[in-house]
């Protein structure tokens, strides 16, 4: 409009925001507002030291903290046809994809890996909410099929960390078809007699919840995670009343019989080791004897992404 709005104001804003968070050394907890020093936050696996709020964490960081010594090998995921519908809203879909790839330095919204957890080899898949809201398109479908196939081939348990706003609208019906497709993948693991454990993290909604994320042998959620089919805003608009406090949060689902457990991120690894060992008839773990996970890197920052990028509903 004029040079004040175009030039001066952004400059002033940038100076102030820089002062608030010098070189991203500090992160503000979105729940309680406490300023958290990046190194402590990383050590705490992106859980707020003040209020225990579980912030987003990238699949890579999660795997470093999960696998013994932080060592894992990526399971390759085939790239699907790019932009199958030639989708265009205000931006072209390939442009949105490229922007997400640049921002996250990841090819897509799911990472699949194999490695040992407490000396038990497993396959793990984790959804990346910072990549277009973790939305499930054909790549995520491919990733889950690849994870399930590898689990069956190597006869290993599959642990899946879900985080997504839903299906990826830009892939239209083909994203919707990933619901039955990933369900076939879950069936493959189940039929092979292997454990399939789902860890639901904040947020898991829409078509993702209504397919692979609700079909685990064991359903664990992180504290405070929003888990739903239809989001709270859609429901409020439909029924025109305020929803109760904590509605659709992990603890609420636990109360309503939809989950087996709600487990703190720091306790999750130990619990997974214990559960997997019991399901696969191994002797009890001697925790002190088991290898430790990887140590957190300093550079890790909590992930966040605009949920509206992907939400199905």
Partner 1 sequence: MNYLDFEKPLAEIEGKAEELRAMARGNAEMNVEDEARALDRKAQDMLRDLYKNLSPWRKCQVARHPDRPHCRDYIEALFTEFTPLAGDRNFADDQAVMGGLARLEDKPVVVIGHEKGHDTKTRIERNFGMARPEGYRKAVRLMDLADRFRLPVVTLVDTPGAYPGKGAEERGQSEAIARSTEKCLQIGVPLVSVIIGEGGSGGAVAFATADRLAMLEHSIYSVISPEGCASILWKDAEKMREAAEALRLTAQDLYKLGVADHIVKEPLGGAQRDAAGTIKAVGAAIVSLLKELEGKSPAELVAGRRKKFLDMGARGLAA
Per CB under 8 A, residues contacting partner 1 are 80-81, 83-90, 138, 141, 145, 167, 169, 171-181, 183-187, 206-207, 209-215, 227-230, 234-235, 238-239, 243, 247-248, 256-258, 308, 311-313
Collect all residues with Cβ–Cβ distance below 8 Å to 168 and sequence separation of at least 6: 132, 135, 136, 137, 140, 175, 310
Q: What angle do CA 25, 45, 52 make, to 5 degrees?
A: 95
Side-chain-facing half-sphere of 220: CA atoms under 13 Å: 20
CB-nearer residue toward partner 1: 27 or 175: 175
126: tokens are 């984790």
Q: How far is the CB of 170 from partner 1 (least distance, A)?
A: 8
Report the C-alpha gap between 308 and 61 in whole angstroms: 24
Can you list the positions of beta strands (E) in the chain?
A: 26-28, 35-37, 73-74, 110-117, 120-127, 158-164, 196-204, 218-221, 261-262
CA 134 vs CA 13, 20, 49, 128, 295: distances in Å? 30, 29, 25, 5, 25
Considering the complex, state which of residue 69 and residue 78 has its C-beta at the smaller distance from partner 1: 78
Nearer to partner 1, 75 or 174 (CB): 174
CB-wise, 22 or 257, nearer to partner 1?
257
242 - beta bridge partners?
none
Please state the closest distance from residue 192 (CB atom) to partner 1, in A.
14
Shortest Cβ 184–partner 1 spacing (Å): 5
- Cβ at position 98, least distance to partner 1 in Å: 17
CB of 229 to partner 1, least distance (A): 4
Nearer to partner 1, 97 or 176 (CB): 176
Report the residue number, 26 or 247, with the smaller CB distance to partner 1: 247
Complex with partner 1: residue 26 or 229, whichever CB lies closer: 229
Q: How far apart are CA 167 and CA 136, in angstroms?
A: 5
Q: Is 177 helix (H, G, I), strand (E, B) or coil?
A: coil
CA-wise closest residue to 166 among 204, 131, 194, 198: 204
281: exposed, middle or buried (Cβ count in 10 Å: 0-12, 13-18, 19+): exposed
**HSE toward the beta carbon, residue 285, CA cutoff 13 A:** 22
Yes or no: say if 222 and 199 are a contact pair by the CB < 8 Å rule.
yes
The nearer residue to partner 1, 210 or 300, going by C-beta atoms, is 210
CB of 88 to partner 1, least distance (A): 6
Nearest by Cα to 227 from 161, 289, 292: 161
Output the smallest distance, CB 218 to partner 1, in A. Answer: 14
- Least distance in angstroms from the C-beta of 31 to partner 1: 22
């Amino acid at each position: 409009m004029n040079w004040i709005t175009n030039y001066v104001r952004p400059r002033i804003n940038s100076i102030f925001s820089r002062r608030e968070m010098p070189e991203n050394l500090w992160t503000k907890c979105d729940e309680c507002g406490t300023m958290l020093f990046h190194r402590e936050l990383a050590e705490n696996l992106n859980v707020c030291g003040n209020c225990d709020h579980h912030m987003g964490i990238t699949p890579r960081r999660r795997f470093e903290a999960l696998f013994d010594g932080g060592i894992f090998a990526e399971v390759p995921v085939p790239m699907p046809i790019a932009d199958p519908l030639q989708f265009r809203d205000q931006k072209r879909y390939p442009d949105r994809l490229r922007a997400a790839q640049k921002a996250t330095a990841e090819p897509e919204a799911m990472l699949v890996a194999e490695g040992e957890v407490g000396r038990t080899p497993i396959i793990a898949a984790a959804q990346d909410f910072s990549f277009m809201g973790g939305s499930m398109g054909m790549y995520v479908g491919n990733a889950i099929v690849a994870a399930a196939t590898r689990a069956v081939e190597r006869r290993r348990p599959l642990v899946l960390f879900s985080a997504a706003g839903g299906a990826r609208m830009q892939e239209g019906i083909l994203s919707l078809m990933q619901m039955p497709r990933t369900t076939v993948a879950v069936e493959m693991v189940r039929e092979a007699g292997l454990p399939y454990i789902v860890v639901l993290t904040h947020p898991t909604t829409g078509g993702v919840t209504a397919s692979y994320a609700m079909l685990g042998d064991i359903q664990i959620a992180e504290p405070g995670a929003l888990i739903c089919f239809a989001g709270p805003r859609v429901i409020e608009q439909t029924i025109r009343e305020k929803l109760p406090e904590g509605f659709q949060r992990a603890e609420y689902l636990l109360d309503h019989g939809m989950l087996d457990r709600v487990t703190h991120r720091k306790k999750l690894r130990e619990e997974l080791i214990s559960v997997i060992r019991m399901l696969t008839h191994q002797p009890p773990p001697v925790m002190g004897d088991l290898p430790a996970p990887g140590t957190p890197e300093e550079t890790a920052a909590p992930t966040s992404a605009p949920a509206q990028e992907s939400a199905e509903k």
